[in-house]
Chain A
């Protein structure tokens, strides 16, 4: 648990006058499930997009998988997986074709793709749907599939941006089971959410308010520190400080 996978130091992103992410500093260790919490517009997604190499930081330092986000962002991309808020598999390709495509563009061999595809189909019980177009399968399955595709190339870190938006509690629980299974294989999980029950599944959580980090600790420790009943309580205590209006 000591190898550091992500480190940031005073990482900042400004859009004109607006400071979306304000000098955040934290470390994420290998195999950790690191939760990024915050109200809408707190800067979670912006922070994540900088780490994934989709957005250029304004100032501060950050490395992901040992690579610098400014200069080595293409190297970072070999080592990460990403699942965005928007559902981003190709709806007009089949389940199998999506896996083949994403495996292929990460440079995986045909043998690897074949073996990994059948592993995932078994894991998700999707064998009967393998040759169906993605648009025809239910949302819950799509989300699980999107996660599996995001870690298809076995990256060191996977970034999940509000991965369980809009699905029912049962599917969310199934989804977290997948996350745990992935974490067990040594993949570091960086996940943003605003579901507080999900926050409790994380090893450590970081609560963002108005672009800054207000608290960072394990859920149990946070509840103790803030003298709260639950993570919900902790979050409400901190989030009330927000002055920024939801965008």
Chain B
């Protein structure tokens, strides 16, 4: 225990004297949490729409007005030919082209039906899909309004219409920040935990101080604890800053208990610190450690369900996400923050994360050797 005390004292002194570490744990989380949630928004707004109105009728004008008055579309061009509208798509001035044919109004009134044509720029798949869907919704809505006007107060509607009303549980306003901020916070903890630990130990390797430690009677177990405990505390500190920002900047108050979040974070940090430790035993210098952790972090981020839904991944990819500790913690954070889940609700997640902590640290302890 006495040995550990000296190791911890030394480690904390070095941390507080290293301005780059303090910058990483204070500035990095603040900046990321202030910027990323605004950018990482799934809602598609300001879709650029080019309209080719060949009809120039009252009905076509009304429809265009209706589309533009929704907040989703911006009219970037009102052209007279389809070709010139397509040119806008080429120049990235338009995402969607809506063509209203000649006789649109006439057909609508006389024959009770009219045709419209939508061309979608599908380079950005999400934007194209959602944009097309929004546009169709609005046009259908318009269609209904037109019908209602004609069939003045009907006793019963000749066509049955199903109207769907939905209510969004757990995030009633569909505020994406509620969804993104807890996830980004998890990523921050992962990066701080893995990188700081890996780089710290590898730096001792580079300088040669680790060899000096290896000729002392310090036990491997104590040495590793001496490295893990300070970064574990730093991790919890980063989490606290992050939760503070979520509360005061985004007004996110977890529906669940802070205790649950901290219990999970405490175990989760052990897992990512163990990963950092493991990376350090396989890297000879800081560049190697950074590259390795960068590579792993990419996979962790993309396979965690932070930006893309795991449910829509193919089966093999779903399997990979099961071996990613980030997945579990992001899920838990969302469950606790949005749904108010308690420790019993997330016991399987806790178990999985504990498993990661045990395996990663066990592996690291085995592969760290005082003698080669």
Contact = CB atoms under 8 A, between A and B. Distances in A.
A90 B10 CA distance: 9
B215 interface: yes
Interface residues of A, number: 29
Interface stretch (A23-31, A76-84, A186-194, A200-208): A76-84
A105 interface: yes
Contact of B10 (A55, A56, A93): A93
Contacts of B10: 90, 93, 97, 101
Contacts, number: 73
B108 interface: no
A79 to B, nearest CB: 9
A77 B372 CA distance: 15
B7 interface: yes
Interface of A is mostly: loop
Interface in A79-100: 80, 82, 84, 86-93, 97, 100
B233 interface: no
Nearest to B206: A86
Contacts of B17: 92, 133
Interface string B8-50: 0110011001100000000000000000000000000000000
A77 B215 contact: yes
Given A104-B2, A104-B5, A105-B218, A53 B212 contact: no
Interface string A145-163: 0000000000000000000
A54 B371 contact: yes
A33 interface: no
A77 B10 CA distance: 21
A91 B3 CA distance: 20
B370 A53 contact: yes
Contacts of A53: 215, 370-371
Contacts of A12: none
A89 B208 CA distance: 9
Contacts of B5: 104
A234 B212 CA distance: 33
* Chain B interface, >50% SS class: helix
Given A55-B371, A56-B372, A105 B216 contact: yes
A102 interface: yes
B18 A92 contact: yes
A54 B211 contact: yes
A92 B371 CA distance: 26
Contacts of B212: 82, 84, 88-89
B214 interface: yes
A52 B207 contact: no
Given A97-B10, A101-B6, A87 B218 contact: no
Interface in B193-217: 207-209, 211-217
Contacts of B371: 53-56, 73
B216 A102 contact: yes
A107 interface: yes
Contacts of B13: 92-93, 97
Nearest to B7: A105
Contact of B215 (A54, A56, A92): A54
Interface of A: 52-56, 73-74, 77-78, 80, 82, 84, 86-93, 97, 100-102, 104-107, 133
Given A54-B214, A54-B370, A104-B5, 20 more contacts: A52-B215, A53-B215, A53-B370, A54-B211, A73-B371, A77-B217, A82-B215, A84-B211, A84-B212, A86-B208, A86-B211, A87-B208, A88-B209, A89-B209, A90-B10, A90-B209, A100-B6, A101-B9, A105-B217, A106-B217
9 contacts: A56-B371, A56-B372, A74-B217, A82-B215, A84-B212, A89-B209, A89-B212, A90-B10, A101-B10
